[in-house]
Structure 1
Amino acid sequence: MSWIDDPAFRTDQPFGPQTLPYGVVDVDGGPVVAVRVGDHALPLRSVAADLGDGLADLVSADSLDPLLAAGRPVWSELRARLTDLVTTDAAPRGARLVPLAEAPARLPFTVADYVDFYSSRNHAENVGRIFRPDGAALLPNWTHLPVGYHGRAGTVVVSGTDVVRPSGQSRAPGVELPGFGPSRRLDIEAEVGFVCGGPVRSRVPVADVAEHVFGVALVNDWSARDIQAWEYQPLGPFLGKSFLTSVSAWITPLEALAAARVPVAGPDHPLLDYLVEAEPWGLDLALEVRWNDSVVSRPPFSAMSWSCAQQLAHMTVNGATVRPGDLFASGTVSGPEKAQRGCFLELSWGGREPIRLESGNGAVVERTFLEDGDTVVITGTAPGVDGAVVGLAEVAGTVRAAVS
């Protein structure tokens, strides 16, 4: 039983008491830290007195930043107390529930650094075949380390923020010189992101990942494929990626995903010691990509080849630090089947195989890449304890015309 009267607050629904993701919403004219309970936000400032002195200040802040810095013992204590609080029969004094539609979400934490990986073998091989049809699908280093690049933290935005079509240089096939203009091959990448906290530290071993990963959120790494194709050699992604990255408004605690842990589909050769896991840190997450009115893909995160623990270990092994607010993402999530590909570059095979989409009036249209006005929504779930469903909040964005 629970005092929370919301039909979506059940264990067979994604945002029941088994999930309790954290976010920041505007209530009474200002930002407040909240947990999501079904289709409502529970502002934690209103129940701070019931959480004790050590936690009250953290949940009374206007962002998740102080909580991220507090570390794993505090995160565990807060989750335990919140679970008790939302599963009692009587509402705590002062508690209030705000419908999500009346609680606009903000980016819940200050993004300190952003790193994006490339950890789906299916995706990497598909992209290799598209971009290098006469070469090897995988480059030699890919099965030995989690390939990644350092992204732009300042353009990470909360779900629901519009995506302004980027402009840049690109070169059309068969043309000698590049031109400049709005991207004509705007794409998505369905990814899973990991929000970091705890003490500032370098050289984090795989066994310590839970001390530095606060929670998990869906990410859409919007990508301008024509700009990317021209610029990425020899140093990798730049303007084709840096214009915008969207992240969920609600961060699912890592502890909520304890029952979803699985081994990754790693390489068939030994790894260097710092990447060897004693216990699995892959996650059995089921993603869904909706393009306007059509579900076009269901990528399985369990098919990834590198775990968050291996990514964090590799990210810091050279002495680089992890700190509260760092965000690292998995790279595009793609499975072995066509209907499991996590970007439109793969789904359309480089634009050569149009994707059929349903329109609002029942008609069918064919697309390869995004047009102005298109909306993409990525959702996800994971298995919980005793058949429960753990939710990953949606990450959504609508494409707007390029700025002239």
Structure 2
Amino acid sequence: MIDATHDQGLRSWVASANGHSEFPIQNLPLGVFSRPGGEARIGVAIGDKIFDLRAAAEAGAIGPAIAPACREPVLNALLGESAAARTELRQTLSELLQERAKPRPEWLHATADCVLHLPARIGDYTDFFAGIHHATNTGRQFRPDNPLLANYKYVPVAYHGRASSVVVSGHEVRRPNGQRKPSAEMVPSFGASRNLDYELELGIWVGPGNALGEPITIAEAADHIAGFSLLNDWSARDIQGWEYQPLGPFLAKNFATTISPWIVTTEALAPFRIPQAPRPAGDPAPLAYLSDPRDQANGAFAIVLEVLLQTPAMRAAGQAPQPLAQSNTRYLYWTVAQMLAHHASNGCNLSPGDLFGSGTISGPSPESYGSLLEITEGGRKPLTLPSGETRRFLEDGDEVIFRAHATREGFARIGFGECRGVILPAPASGGSLRE
């Protein structure tokens, strides 16, 4: 899958792309943007600019087979193209943007002058639980002697989330109301979440998909994964702790999920594929429908993920966001192909633009934990920031920022952009069960 588009020596006539830490010509992520007062259209991030893919398609610079999908206002049709068609588009874009190509400045827009939108109409959103360190850390808080339930190492555990409340980076997130019942209280109360948290995840975008009743095999699954974003699965821990048994999260999760606006394609990440980590001795092998030698040899990714926090006091003082954790996608217990194959194994139909969350990606040590629930041990050990402030969980006005990048010797570094969200106060409550 590595080809000329990944050549570290490639340079672009878009000057800001050369040496860019996130969007060099070797990346070419897809997104949806608009100019002030203009309509949404598909673009490609290149340096500090956006290449107008619709304009290029209308000018005949894109192959006729895929050009109609490039003229759409969202990415669903383009995500639904075959892996071969996506690869051909990537090669065309690389050729159009290389230094030796004819500059087309009329197809460029300054990113700072544009509005970025959700990249696709998200028909369905599923959140997995594939970060084994997170699953173990959180399970240990409730079941010290048995943190992982019996199914965890057999099943890529997941729940269906709420697609309608997925928002793009920069969209403010309002603290949710819900029922809460701390262990010290006899009955629940209704009100604003006191234990609001983030979860560091990888967003996984479905490509062509399948018809209802027709499973996708593990050998085929990689061809149905179009690309990746960053994803913040905001979580109201106190609401979740009361409501989740026996059916899982509801109001604790469905109030908001934030994603970064650019989809880094599967093809762009080809140099950063790695073998799936061997399972520890004693762990069961994946069942046959989730077992594929090629996926185990090349189905994981080495992507560094970072969490930063900026409080209102830090913002007022002009202080930069404070790093809280750094993790890596190599810590996922299941590959993305296994997640997709399991999702479709019962004949569930997946569609272009459907979104998966990987589950919180924590590493084995505290500096790699992907949530405050883990960092503060459920709020029992507050985190002290360099500003002198402390946090058990998120407070109003806090901004959480995710960043990610992939590096490998001999290849250009590529990034994902940012996934940001500022917490707003909860809406006025309609009442309390204790009133």
Residues 394-403 or 93-102, more deviating: 93-102
Question: CA separation in 1, counterparts of 2:223 and 2:63?
Answer: 23
Partner of 2:314: none
- Residue 129 of structure 2: which of 106, 118, 137 is its match? 118
| Cα pair 1:12 1:387 within 8 Å, conserved | no
SS in 1 for 2:208: coil
Q: How does 1:74-223 map onto structure 2 within 5 Å?
A: 74-93=85-104, 95-133=106-144, 135-201=145-211, 202-223=214-235
CA RMSD of aligned residues (A): 1.6
Report the counterpart of residue 29 of structure 2 in structure 1.
21
Moved more, 302-311 or 261-270: 261-270
Structure 2: distance between partners of 1:254 and 1:209: 12
Instruction: State the match for 1:45 in structure 2.
Output: 54
In 1, the alpha carbon distance for the partners of 2:270 and 2:414 equals 10
> What is the DSSP-based 3-state SS (H/G/I as helix, E as strand, rest coil) of the residue aligned with 2:252?
helix
Question: What are the ranges of 5 or more consecutive residues in structure 1 without an aligned counterpart?
Answer: none
> 1:281: which partner in 2?
299
For 1:4, the aligned partner's letter is V
Q: TM-score, normalised by structure 1?
A: 0.95
In the other structure, the counterpart of 2:76 is: 65
| Aligned with 1:372 (options 396, 414, 419) | 396
Which residue identity does 2:208 align to in structure 1?
A: G
**Distance in 1 (alpha carbons) for counterparts of 2:156 and 2:209:** 23
With structure 2 as the length reference, what TM-score do the two structures score? 0.88
Residue in 2 that maps onto 1:399: 423
Which segments of 5 or more consecutive residues in structure 2 lack a partner in the other structure? 1-10, 311-320, 429-435
Answering whether residue 270 of structure 2 is matched by residue 258 of structure 1, we say: yes
Q: How far 1:172 sits from its partner (Å)?
A: 1.6
CA distance in 2, matches of 1:229, 1:111: 28
Contact 2:119 2:262 in 1 (8 A): yes
Q: In the alignment, residue 307 of structure 1 is paired with which amino acid?
A: T
Distance across 2 between alignment mates of 1:65 and 1:270: 35
Contact 1:381 1:389 in 2 (8 A): yes
Separation in 1, partners of 2:333, 2:54: 40
C-alpha displacement of 1:291: 0.8
Which SS does the other structure have where 2:353 is aligned? Answer: coil
Shift of 1:55: 2.8
Q: Check whether the contact 2:20–2:47 (CA below 8 A) recurs between aligned residues.
A: no
| Aligned match of 1:3 | 13
Letter of the structure 2 residue corresponding to residue 302 of structure 1: R
Residue 341 of structure 1 corresponds to which residue in structure 2? 369
Rounded to whole Å, the distance in 2 between the matches of 1:2 and 1:128 is 49
Match of residue 285 from structure 2: 270
CA distance in 1, matches of 2:188, 2:209: 46
SS at match of 2:373: helix
Structure 1 residue aligned with 2:328, among 277, 280, 300? 300
Q: Which residue of 1 aligns with 2:359?
A: 331
Identical columns (%): 41
CA distance in 2, matches of 1:92, 1:322: 39
**Bigger strand share:** 1
Q: Which amino acid aligns with 1:331?
A: G
- Give the C-alpha shift of residue 240 in structure 1: 0.5
- Which of the numbers 41, 44, 59 marks the counterpart of 1:35? 44
